[in-house]
Amino acid sequence: MMKVLLTGGAGYIGSHVAASLAAAGHDIVCFDNLSNSRADVIDRLEAITGKSVPLVVGDIRDRVAVRDAITSHGANAVIHFAGLKAVGESVAEPLKYYDNNVRGTLSLIEAMVDCDVRTLVFSSSATVYGEPQYLPLDEAHPTSATNPYGRTKLMVEEMLSDIAAADPAWRIAVLRYFNPVGAHASGLIGENPAGTPNNLMPYISRVAAGRLSELPVFGNDYDTPDGTGVRDYIHVEDLADGHVAALDRIGAEEEEALSVWNLGTGQGYSVLDMITAFERVNGVRIPHRIEPRRAGDVASCYASAARARDELGWAARRGLDDMCASTWRFERTAAMRNT
Ligand code: NAD
Ligand code: UFG
C-alpha cells in the first residue's frame, strides 16, 4: 500500500481518485491551493471514505511547502492533478498557464527529488494528439499542440520523458484522459465549475436545472454521423480506477521508468447523443440551438483503450446512462446544499 500525495486533490478528478485510492486501501493526502475548488470537498470525501483525509493548503510552485507536505505525511508517491485547464483562458493568458502548469510541475519534481520520492502519476490529456491523423487514437499517434494549454501538457510530458531517461529510478505514469464526465455515485462530489461552464456535460446539467436557458451546440456540419462533434466521454469513477491500476503497475520492479496510457472508453458519442441520453435517463428537457463551430474543435476524438486494457488490466465499466444519471444526481444534491 502506498501513501499518496494528490496535488489538486480537492478538484474534480483529484477528489474522485482520492476516493478510489482510499477504497483500494491506500493512504491519501490532498495538496491544493483551492484556486478552483473548496475545502468542504474534503468533508464530503471523509463522508465517502469513512476516513480522515488530510488537506494541505499550498501551491505546487512553493517547493518548500511541497517538501514539507511530503515529509510530514511520509508520502512515497505523488499523483499530480494541480493545474489550470481552460483552453480559451490559456490563449488569453498564456503566462498564467506556463507558470502554473510548467513551472509548477518543475517545482513539484524538484521537491520530490529533495525527498527521494520518484513515483509519479501525471494528468495529461488527449489534447496532446492535436488534430487526429487517424482514429482511434493510440499512444503512438504523433503529438502536437493547438493552444497554450495543450502546449503545457506536451512540455510537461517531454520534461518527464527526459527526467526518466536520465534517472531510471523514476516510476512515471503519463495518463492521457479523454473526456471525463459524471460524478461519484454518492452524489457528494462532482464537477462544479465557477461561472459559465466551458465543457459540454456541466453545461447540459445546468440547462436541465434551469440555471442556464439553452445549450449552444457548436456546429452541426462536421463529418460525423449527425454532424455534431464526437468525443470519448469516460465516467470519472472509471477514470479514477484507472489511476489506481496505473499506480499499482508502476510500483512493479520490472516496469519502465516512464509509461504512457490512454484513459478512455474507445467509444465516441456526438453532442446530440449526449443531449438525448441525458433527457431520456433523467426525464428532463435540454433546450438547445445550433451555433457556429467553436474555434479549435475537431470533428471526432476517441481513444484506443487497448494498451490500458492489456497492460493495466483496466477498462471503463460504466456506460452513458450512468454518466448522465450521476451528473444529474450531483447537480441536485449540490443545489440542496446550496453550493
Ligand atoms: P480542477 O480544476 O477541478 O482541479 C484542479 C485542482 O488543482 C483544483 O482543485 C485547483 O484548486 C488546484 N490547483 C490549480 N493550480 C494549483 C497550484 N498551482 N497549486 C496547487 N493546487 C492548484 O480540474 P480537473 O478537471 O480535476 O483536472 C485535473 C487535471 O486533469 C488537470 O491537470 C487537467 O489539466 C487534467 N485534465 C482534465 C480534463 C477534464 O476534462 N477535466 C481532461 C484532461 C486532463
Ligand atoms: N460543445 C457544445 N456546446 C458546449 C460545449 C461543448 O456543443 O456548450 C461540444 C464541443 O464542440 C465538442 C463537445 O461538445 O464537440 C465536447 O466539448 P468539451 O468542451 O466538453 O470537451 P473538449 O473535447 O473540447 O475538450 C476536453 C477538455 C480539454 C481536453 C480535451 C481532450 O476540456 O481540456 O477534452 O481530452 F484537452
Domain assignment present for residue 145? The answer is: yes
Q: Of how many residues is the chain composed?
A: 339
Indicate whether 328 pLDDT > 70. yes
Indicate whether 252 pLDDT > 90. no
Domain assignment present for residue 68? The answer is: yes
pLDDT score of 251 = 84
Domain assignment present for residue 62? The answer is: yes
- Ligand 2 within 6 A of CB of 181: no
Domain assignment present for residue 287? The answer is: no
Find the 84 Cα to ligand 1 centroid distance in Å: 6
Query: What average pLDDT score do residues 88-110 get?
Result: 97
Could you report the per-residue pLDDT of 153-162, keeping only the tens digit for each?
Answer: 999 999 999 9
For the four alpha carbons of 142, 135, 14 and 240, in that order, the dihedral sign comes to: negative
Look at 334 and 169; give whichever has higher pLDDT: 169
pLDDT score of 339 = 56
Domain assignment present for residue 286? The answer is: no
Could you report the per-residue pLDDT of 37-70, keeping only the tens digit for each?
Answer: 999 999 999 999 999 999 999 999 999 999 999 9
Could you report the per-residue pLDDT of 192-217, keeping only the tens digit for each?
Answer: 998 999 999 999 999 999 999 999 99
Pocket test for ligand 1, best of 63, 85, 106 (most atoms within 8 A of CB): 85
Find the 240 Cα to ligand 1 centroid distance in Å: 14
Name the β-bridge partners of 5.
29, 78
In the residue annotation, 302 being an active-site residue is answered as: no
Any idea what the CATH number is for the domain that residue 175 is in?
3.40.50.720
- 38: domain range? 3-182+233-264
- Ligand at minimal distance from the CA of 182 is 1
Q: What are phi and psi of 283, to 5 degrees?
A: 65, 40
How far is 311 from 261, CA to CA, in rounded Å? Answer: 9
- Ligand at minimal distance from the CA of 240 is 1
Could you report the per-residue pLDDT of 215-244, keeping only the tens digit for each?
Answer: 999 999 999 999 999 999 999 999 999 999
Which residue CA neighbors atom 15 of ligand 2 most closely?
229
Domain assignment present for residue 289? The answer is: no
Query: What average pLDDT score do residues 299-303 get?
Result: 98
Q: Which atom of ligand 2 is nearest to the CA of 296?
A: 24
The whole-model pTM stands at: 0.98
- Ligand 2 within 6 A of CB of 84: no
Query: What's the domain count of the chain?
Result: 1
Could you report the per-residue pLDDT of 268-296, keeping only the tens digit for each?
Answer: 999 999 999 999 999 999 999 999 999 99
pLDDT band at 338 (very low <50, low <70, confident <90, very high): low
Pocket test for ligand 1, best of 36, 38, 42, 90 (most atoms within 8 A of CB): 36
Domain assignment present for residue 200? The answer is: no
- Cβ distance 106 to 155 under 8 Å? no
- Residue identified by cell 493548503 is 57
Residues with CB under 6 A from ligand 1: 7-8, 10-14, 32-37, 59-61, 81-83, 85, 100, 104, 123, 125, 177, 179-180
Among residues 12, 149, 203, 222, which one is catalytic? Answer: 149
Pocket test for ligand 1, best of 35, 40, 189, 231 (most atoms within 8 A of CB): 35
Domain assignment present for residue 176? The answer is: yes
